[in-house]
Amino acid sequence: MNAETPSPQDLPAGDCRERLIRAADEAFRREGYRASIDQIAARAGVARQTLYNHFASKDDLFSEVAHLAASSMLVALDDESGGLRERLVRFGLTFRERLIGDEGLALFRTVSAEAPRFPDLARAFYDKGAGQARRRVAAFLARAMDEGLLRRDDPAFAGEVLLAMLDCGDRSRRLFGAERLAAAAERARVARIVDAYLRAYAPETERNAR
């Protein structure tokens, strides 16, 4: 490490924390929950005590991995450029990347394997991951309903419908060995799903005009 490259211990607290979460993400995907604190600290290039300065326990770090995964998906909703369809397509692509991409599948297998032994940990992981995503999607759809872009319905239910449509059974197929779609085919599939969703939730005035 040269003089121009800061040591991990010298990084700003926020950067060090994110580095630790990403190292934990990789360690948990490769080793499962049995990955040790020492392994995670080594991956991040920090001392064990540095890790504990940021996270009280491995459980805390594990749940933060879920929070990071969910946050990376939700960035697409925060981008206000484009219309509703464009924003939903962007979100759909990032959501499916986390859901059915290799990294997302590996993390899903880890959580599924540990859930029966550590139910409290699994619940915390869900709340910071999938639970956070569901709440944010519901809030996004509620705003679209308030603006007259979607017909009025329970936003939480509307969000569950959207996420289920974006899954479309593809995670199960991938878990059992199906290949991922090529990029162009994946984009076309997401666009088709979003279009079907928007037809189902079209404002009443549009539905009556058909």
Longest dimension (CA), the chain: 68
Kindly state the tokens that stand for 121.
């940990």
Domains of the chain by range and CATH? 1-55 (1.10.10), 57-209 (1.10.357.10)
pLDDT at residue number 173: 94
Task: Find out whether 164 and 200 touch, Cβ atoms under 8 Å.
Answer: no
How many CB atoms neighbour CB 22 within 10 A? 14
pTM of the model: 0.78
The residue ranges of the chain whose pLDDT is under 50 are 1-12
